[in-house]
Structure 1
Amino acid sequence: MLRGAREMVKLYTPGHNIITDSLIMHGVLRILGVLGYHSGVVQRVGERFIIDIEGLDQHSVRDLGSKFRNTDVYHSLQLTLNLYINKGYMPRDQKVSKIFESNPNEPANRSWATNLSESLLNLDLSNYLSSDHITSVNEGRRKGVRTLYISLSSIYGKYQELDYNTIDKPYSVCDTCFGLASLGLIYGALATVLRRENSKYSLFMTIIPEDRIEIRDLLIIQRLLEGYMTMGRFSASAPSDIPLLALPLYSLSVGETLAAIESEADVLTWKVAKVGNFIRSLDTALIRLNKLMDFITEVKMLIPEWPRIVSQCFETEDGFTILSELTEVIVFSREISHIYSTVRSIISYIEDMKDTTCKNLLKRMHRVSEKLVETITKVVAI
């Protein structure tokens, strides 16, 4: 090594799928952050990630799991999990309770807690020094150590269809993959849970690099993704479903302002549901984060009440549909007719609003409708 050069090591996420690998990447970063390793770069390669970490070599990577198990974060997490496993106490920490509240298969929650507690004891990040981890530990559609829950993978359920027959063939992973994916869901993904009388929809979003992002930037972003939101159980006006494209715009509008990042990033969002007795994966989408944030920044300058408008006035069936249309315009559409159609939907929504407080708030959007069109057009043109 050249004099003055810092040690660096590469870790490769396994390549299960973009959702699981994104969560594993965030799980790795949380451990690195807890242990004080903030320098390096995360690069996206297809559905996988390469994590270049400064200040580590291959030998020290083998010690990361044991060092993490000596931290307060680890001991607090294990205490919380054990109280839930043994006493049934739902964690007060929203970061941890999120994985159970959002799980469509609620009877499996204690099994998830047990699997997570056990897998954390066996974390070994040196598994990711090689890019062929899946092959080397025989992961995939076979009986194995841990079965991936649907929230951690979306496209992988317990069953597989072969030759027109459905067979019990779980997608299994090792302790390290299961533990890190669960940590990624806890610390690196925002969950929104919509409960109705006979259904439960769980929507998730995380942020990943479009190409490359500094580890430090992603650790900052994680702070905005740790919690979860729930709606619908006690509200007659709550929607029966939430369009997947509405979630990022809604969450980023009502949440804390996202710190500016120089690198291009994407929002990865997915939805799973339990309707009656059936659990299934629904949509998955990848959306340009920077375009959304540019739009939100512009609108907040024009309408300072924007977060309040979104949180108080758009939590309805039509409101979420409008947010979904707005996202489509901002990220995907380049047709002016589509832009004006969306603005007309907003105006119509305002006129039909019966709630006096919301109607007064939404009137502010009448005064800036032309500016709103200008803002959307500017963002779409980028």
Structure 2
Amino acid sequence: MVYTLYTPGHGLVADSLVLHGILRILAWCGINKGKVSRFGERFVIELEDSKLNCDKDIIYEILEEVLISVEEYLNVREERRGHREIINVSDRLSKINYANINKPVLRNWLSQILDSVEGFISLQVYKDPNHKDRFEKSRKGGGLATLYLPLSAIYGKYVQEKKGVSESPYKVCDTCFITINMGLLFGTHIVRVDKKEKSSVYYTTFIAREDVDINDLLLLQRMGEGYHHVENGAEIPLISAPLIAISQGETIASVEDPYKIQVLTWSLQLSNNFQRSLGLSVIDYEPIYRFVAEIKLRVPTWPRFLNECLLRFEGGEAVLASLTETLLFGGDIYVVSRMLSSHIMDILKKENEYPEVGKLCKIDADEIVRSLQEIQG
């Protein structure tokens, strides 16, 4: 029997997270034959000859470590130190903590995860393309979960009742809240940059542009599980976040049709007590992954060079922007070369102050240029 599932229509960011949450659950149930296609800001999942027996018990199995850590966090008495220790021990909890720019909501967020696991119905709800509309009336009342800013990149919604219009947090059902959080944990790479009173968080995930095999997106989740924290770094150009994400860890080059994949990135920022969404971008996956695969062959220390010399030193953000724009849209490669060489020289002037970074920066900048040339043909 062929099943068709539809993401609910909570916006491109939330639906992308729902997609990855659904795929994680399906993989856990041994279901990996099918296709994913994009329809506007929603996704359609067509499963081949599968029995959709993925109930609440599966969610408890997948999130077991997360739920144990959340319960410990919520029950701890020693507020600051105890919470910090629990977060540091759990990779999943650390990831949520880094993803969150609004510290006061963390406790409610984690508490809602526990409540929503209990309220999770099944993936059967996504067989209905009008799933969201069926909850529209109840969304005005209680019993639903608030979709926090990192999970949607939107602040809320306007609700019209009779002749009045009021602001309201965007809320979703328990099943959507769980799949969205699973998409964040298992399918979204996070880079957080903290500097003085400002924190910027960049979220990167992979979506279908055309019909994509489920296994390709599951492979890409291996890159999406990570998170990266940069202290005292400069703001990252939004367009460069995918390059950073794909450069971390293993670069997967076995995706069957990389041209069918796109990269969705969104960013949030907290400055003093003011939080804002910096927008989102959708770019092609293929040139980014080809460049990273090529440069790792030529410069094996590329990930460390990126982290230490570009993300942590002022001026590196301009190099990243120029590199990414040239990679995606073309342009003068030698402009990138000059900017990169100049940046490296600036760092080497401070080699006595940062000897280890100085050694790391002694790379052949021409190899980066050759990698760009290889991709541009």
TM-score band w.r.t. shorter chain: 0.7 to 0.9
1:76 maps to which of 62, 65, 85: 65
Q: Are 2:320 and 1:330 aligned?
A: no
Q: Which moved more, 1:263-272 or 1:167-176?
A: 167-176
Query: What CA deviation, in whole Å up to 9, does each residue of 1:147-189 have, x standing for no partner?
Result: 21000011x1146599xx9953111211111111011101111
Equivalent position of 1:177 in the other structure: 176
Q: Are 2:12 and 1:23 aligned?
A: no
2:133 maps to which of 135, 145, 156: 135
| C-alpha separation in 1, matches of 2:196 and 2:303 | 28
| 1:260 Cα deviation from its structure 2 partner | 2.1
| 1:90 Cα deviation from its structure 2 partner | 2.4
Equivalent position of 2:251 in the other structure: 257
One-letter amino acid matched to 1:319: G
| C-alpha separation in 1, matches of 2:306 and 2:245 | 9
Structure 2-normalised TM-score? 0.86
Query: What CA deviation, in whole Å up to 9, does each residue of 1:263-313 have, x standing for no partner?
Result: 221111111111111111112111211101111122223223322321222
Work out whether residues 95 and 226 of structure 1, in 8 Å CA contact, stay in contact via their aligned partners in 2: no
Three-state SS of the structure 2 residue aligned to 1:364 is coil
Work out whether residues 266 and 287 of structure 1, in 8 Å CA contact, stay in contact via their aligned partners in 2: yes
| C-alpha separation in 1, matches of 2:229 and 2:18 | 24
| C-alpha separation in 2, matches of 1:139 and 1:379 | 51
Runs of 5+ consecutive residues of structure 2 not aligned to the other structure: 77-82
Three-state SS of the structure 2 residue aligned to 1:38 is coil
Query: What CA deviation, in whole Å up to 9, does each residue of 1:222-266 have, x standing for no partner?
Result: 12221311121xxxxx32422212222123223222242022211
Query: What CA deviation, in whole Å up to 9, does each residue of 1:318-338 have, x standing for no partner?
Result: 11221122111111x233x3x
Three-state SS of the structure 2 residue aligned to 1:16 is coil
Work out whether residues 142 and 171 of structure 1, in 8 Å CA contact, stay in contact via their aligned partners in 2: no
Work out whether residues 266 and 278 of structure 2, in 8 Å CA contact, stay in contact via their aligned partners in 1: yes
Equivalent position of 1:85 in the other structure: 74
| 1:81 Cα deviation from its structure 2 partner | 1.8
| C-alpha separation in 2, matches of 1:300 and 1:290 | 16
Equivalent position of 1:118 in the other structure: 115
Equivalent position of 1:34 in the other structure: 28
Work out whether residues 11 and 152 of structure 2, in 8 Å CA contact, stay in contact via their aligned partners in 1: yes
| C-alpha separation in 1, matches of 2:98 and 2:359 | 35
Q: How does 1:1-382 map to 2 (within 5 A)?
A: 7-57=1-51, 61=52, 63-69=53-59, 72-87=61-76, 88=83, 89-90=86-87, 92-123=89-120, 124-138=122-136, 142-143=140-141, 145-154=144-153, 156-158=154-156, 160=158, 167-232=166-231, 238-263=232-257, 264=259, 265-315=261-311, 316-331=313-328, 333-335=329-331, 337=332, 339-353=333-347, 354-355=350-351, 356-366=355-365, 369=366, 372-380=368-376
Work out whether residues 87 and 93 of structure 2, in 8 Å CA contact, stay in contact via their aligned partners in 1: no
Work out whether residues 189 and 227 of structure 2, in 8 Å CA contact, stay in contact via their aligned partners in 1: yes
Structure 1-normalised TM-score? 0.85
Query: What CA deviation, in whole Å up to 9, does each residue of 1:326-370 have, x standing for no partner?
Result: 111111x233x3x2222211111122122354444444324xx2x
Equivalent position of 2:80 in the other structure: none
| C-alpha separation in 2, matches of 1:33 and 1:214 | 13
Query: What CA deviation, in whole Å up to 9, does each residue of 1:186-245 have, x standing for no partner?
Result: 11111111122212211111111221222222222212221311121xxxxx32422212
Work out whether residues 95 and 187 of structure 1, in 8 Å CA contact, stay in contact via their aligned partners in 2: no
One-letter amino acid matched to 1:220: L
| C-alpha separation in 2, matches of 1:309 and 1:362 | 7
Equivalent position of 1:235 in the other structure: none
Q: Which moved more, 1:199-208 or 1:239-248?
A: 239-248
Provide closer, same or farther for how the CA distance between residues 301 and 127 of structure 1 changes in structure 2, counting only shifts above 3 A. same
| C-alpha separation in 1, matches of 2:63 and 2:356 | 45
| C-alpha separation in 2, matches of 1:314 and 1:190 | 18
